[in-house]
């Protein structure tokens, strides 16, 4: 990977990003890569010398490393940031957990510097898988693990939103319990993931909607001229029924599915036909909506778009 600095950020930031000491150790794959998309991993390996990422795009990853370092330094009760190894089906897998407390019952915790959106549906499936694989590794090395947590630090939390919305996280940091899988389920999961990564070298799979962090398409009921939706609906008939009930002055807009990982978090995108196709379709739909704007605002918006082009 090649690191660029298009914004001319200070050399200290550039060095902090480029001197990232993370390494999976003497292993074929890390737990983080194991749980990730096989297509993404293969394309990133294949095009490693051509991938470019800007320093500005690595800032949140850097903040995560800083937070982990401070928390590790401050912890005087737990075993922190240790890398373990296991062997499965000819693969050597490495994993570095964040925090393990032997007493009283063997608690494994993982820190997540994340967003409020990321936790709106609870613990993400990949977090559950990651924690359970770490738990298996600890047990295989003779340690008892009976409970799992993720400790979420919400980097975009806003006090004003917490005051006015009961559905919004009420605190900027919280502990979320993680489901503990039985051993046979973890072993089955590991085998399936290793099979997927092995096959990717012969027959490149497409990323699933879950792996793309897809936000499904929704129908927004909103006041004409407003950007913020009054309410969101999964289907058009539901939205049309609500529109008929609310009266004049409102409209329905389709908000297309978004591929969050493809658009914002995948270094393989420049080399991925699937991701490029999906991102292009989403952008084309956004442009169609832009050019369908009616009223006084339309001319200014369209003029800005033409000038930008």
pLDDT band, very low/low/confident/very high, at 270 (cuts 50, 70, 90): very high
Average pLDDT over residues 20-29: 82
Check: CB of residue 26 under 8 Å from CB of residue 73.
no
Instruction: Output the pLDDT for position 290.
Output: 59
pLDDT score at 131: 98
Give the model confidence (pLDDT) of 205-225 as tens digits: 999 999 999 888 888 888 888
CA 148 to each of CA 6, 85, 114: distance values in angstroms, whole numbers, following the listed order:
41, 19, 18
Please give the pLDDT value at position 115: 93
Predicted confidence at residue 299, as pLDDT, reads: 42
Which pLDDT band holds residue 293 (cuts at 50, 70, 90)? very low
Mean pLDDT of the chain: 88
Of 69-83, 122-136, 265-279, give the lowest mean pLDDT range.
69-83
Contact 306, 40 (CB under 8 A): no
274 close to 39: Cβ distance less than 8 angstroms: yes
Q: In the prediction, which pLDDT does 111 show?
A: 95
* pLDDT score for 223: 87
**What pLDDT score does 306 carry?**
39
Per-residue confidence (pLDDT) for residue 171, from 0 to 100: 96
Round to whole Å and give the CA distance between 125 and 284: 30
Region 282-309 average pLDDT: 53
Per-residue pLDDT band for 273 (boundaries 50, 70, 90) equals: very high
| Whether CATH 3.90.320.10 fits 2-199 | yes
Q: Is 50 exceeded by the pLDDT of residue 227?
A: yes
| Range 31-44 average pLDDT | 96
Q: Is the pLDDT of residue 196 over 70?
A: yes
What is the predicted pLDDT for the residue at 304? 42
* pLDDT given at position 291: 63
Look at residue 294 and tell me whether its pLDDT is greater than 50: no
Asked whether the beta carbons of 195 and 202 are under 8 A apart, the reply is no
Confidence of residue 303 (pLDDT cuts 50, 70, 90): very low
Per domain, the residue ranges of the chain are 2-199, 214-308
Tell me what percent of the residues of the chain surpass a pLDDT of 70: 93
What lies within 8 Å, CB to CB, of 108 at 6+ separation is 97, 99, 100, 101, 131, 134, 135, 138, 145, 147, 148, 149
In 3D space, the residue among 172, 31, 16, 215 whose CA is nearest the CA of residue 108 turns out to be 31
Q: Which of the pair, 264 or 191, is modelled with greater confidence?
A: 191
């Amino acid at each position: 990977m090649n690191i660029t600095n298009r914004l001319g950020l200070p050399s200290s930031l550039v060095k902090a990003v480029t001197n990232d000491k993370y390494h999976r150790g003497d292993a074929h794959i890390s737990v983080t890569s194991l749980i990730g998309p096989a297509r993404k991993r293969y394309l990133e390996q294949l095009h490693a010398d051509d991938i470019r990422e800007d320093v500005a795009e690595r800032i949140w990853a850097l903040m995560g490393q800083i937070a982990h370092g401070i928390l590790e330094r401050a912890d005087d009760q737990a075993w922190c940031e240790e890398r373990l190894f296991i062997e499965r089906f000819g693969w050597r897998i490495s994993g570095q957990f964040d925090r393990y407390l032997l007493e009283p019952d063997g608690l494994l915790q993982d820190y997540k510097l994340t967003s409020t959106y990321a936790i709106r549906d609870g613990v993400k499936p990949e977090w559950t898988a990651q924690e359970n694989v770490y738990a298996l590794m600890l047990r295989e090395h003779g340690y008892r693990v009976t409970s799992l947590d993720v400790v979420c630090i919400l980097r975009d939390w806003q006090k004003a939103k917490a005051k006015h919305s009961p559905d919004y996280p009420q605190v900027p940091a919280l502990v979320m319990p993680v489901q503990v899988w039985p051993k046979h389920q973890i072993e089955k999961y590991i085998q399936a993931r290793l099979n997927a990564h092995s096959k990717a070298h012969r027959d490149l799979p497409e990323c699933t909607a879950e792996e793309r962090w897809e936000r499904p398409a929704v129908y927004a009921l909103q006041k004409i001229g407003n950007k913020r939706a009054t309410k969101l609906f999964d289907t058009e008939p539901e939205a049309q029924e609500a529109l008929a009930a609310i009266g004049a002055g409102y409209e329905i807009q389709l908000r297309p599915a978004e591929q969050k990982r493809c658009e914002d978090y995948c270094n393989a995108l420049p080399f991925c036909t699937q991701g490029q196709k999906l991102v292009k379709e989403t952008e084309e739909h956004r442009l169609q909506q832009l050019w369908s704007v009616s009223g006084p605002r339309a001319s200014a918006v369209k003029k800005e778009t033409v000038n930008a082009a």
